Structure 1
Amino acid sequence: MPVLVAALVLVGLIATVNLVLTLGVVKRLREHGELLTTLGGGPASLLAGEEVGEFATVTVDDRPLDRTSLNGETIVGFFSPTCQPCQEKLPKFIDYARTRAGGARQALAVVVGDAEQGADFVSRLSPVARVVLETSDGPMSSAFRTRAFPTVLMVAPDDEGRLVVTDDRVALDQPSALV
């Protein structure tokens, strides 16, 4: 019987040490996450409720584009042809944009990279969205403060007419409102 009690006490001590270590790891992970956000200068793009900055650019089919061009709820995606997650998310964005009410006028895709690298993305996105091809410091990336890819946002004018992000975590797996 004393051996059984000793074994039970030992298992209890091991479980307690395990719990303390696990809580310590969770605390450190939270601290590291906050530190990475601070060192990185904040979030990867605008957050919900933030106003989109001024921009003026042209689409790949030479049509002018600025903040006033985005009227109504518009999905905006930023993709880089050199990032693997972009390769995986692009088909979902295309399917989502294809079913949006308003068609390509309510979808905007920004391909960040040079023309040669971005050619495949541009050709795949052009049927379902207005497409802009730019460098990482281009007007769209600057206006949306985009620093990570892929980034997908929903934007719309607010009650005062300012273009703001209405959703910074668009669920592309959820069907959009059909045309």
Structure 2
Amino acid sequence: MPVLIAVVTLVGALCTLNLVLTLGVVKRLREHTEMLGSVQGDPVRLEVGQEVGEFHTSTTLGEPLMRDLLSGPVLFGFFSPTCEPCQDKLPRFVAYARHEPGGRSSVIATVVGDADAAAGFVAELSRVAHVVVEDPDGAMGTALGIRAFPSVLRAEREADGRLVVVDDDVALGSPTSLTA
């Protein structure tokens, strides 16, 4: 009988310990859920309907680039040479941009990072877009609120002349939907 009492007491103590640890894990999960919720609430780029901010910069060819110089629909792409998803998405962006109705003049690609590291991206993008190389806090990224890579957006002029985002996550699937 004393052995049975000792076993029951031991099992009870283990169950109590398990309950305390489980409650601790649940508390930590709630804290992490709240933290993730606050992070996910911050947009990583401008959203549909928001106006593109003012920017003044130059392309890799020395061409001036300003918001006020853009007239029709514009496809914006943001890449970083240190970003693995960017390396995967770059060929799809190039293929998609080839079929833009306005051609190269309606595509702006921004490579964020060191100019030497960006050389491969610049070479590929230059065939289909005006290319800008800038620091993480550069004019293009700031104007479009970019905080994640890769990002692909489309903006158009409204009737009142404002340049606003019309698609904040362009799917780089079939480009035929643009020309149809």
Same fold (TM > 0.5): yes
In the other structure, the counterpart of 2:54 is 54
Aligned-pair identity in percent equals 48
Letter in 1 for 2:134: E
For residues 178 and 128 of structure 1, the distance between their equivalents in structure 2, rounded to whole angstroms, comes to 17
Q: CA deviation at 1:73?
A: 0.9
For the residue of structure 1 that corresponds to 2:44, the secondary structure is coil
In the other structure, the counterpart of 2:162 is 162
Gaps of 5+ in 1: 1-23
Q: CA deviation at 1:37?
A: 2.5
Aligned: 1:91 with 2:91? yes
- 1:12-91 equivalences in 2 (<5 Å): 31=34, 33-38=36-41, 42-91=42-91
Gaps of 5+ in 2: 1-25
For the residue of structure 1 that corresponds to 2:110, the secondary structure is strand
Aligned: 1:133 with 2:136? no
Under a length normalisation based on structure 2, what TM-score does the superposition of the two structures give?
0.78
In the other structure, the counterpart of 2:116 is 116
Q: After superposition, what is the alpha-carbon deviation per residue over 1:124-179, rounded to whole angstroms, capped at 9, x for unaligned?
A: 00010010010101111111111100000000111110011000021111224349
Q: CA deviation at 1:35?
A: 2.3
For the residue of structure 1 that corresponds to 2:75, the secondary structure is strand
For the residue of structure 2 that corresponds to 1:114, the secondary structure is coil
Letter in 1 for 2:160: E
Under a length normalisation based on structure 1, what TM-score does the superposition of the two structures give?
0.78
Q: Which has the larger radius of gyration?
A: 2
Distance of aligned partners of 1:74 and 1:30 in 2 relative to their CA distance in 1, 3 Å threshold? farther
For residues 71 and 113 of structure 1, the distance between their equivalents in structure 2, rounded to whole angstroms, comes to 28
Count of matched residue pairs? 151
For the residue of structure 2 that corresponds to 1:159, the secondary structure is coil
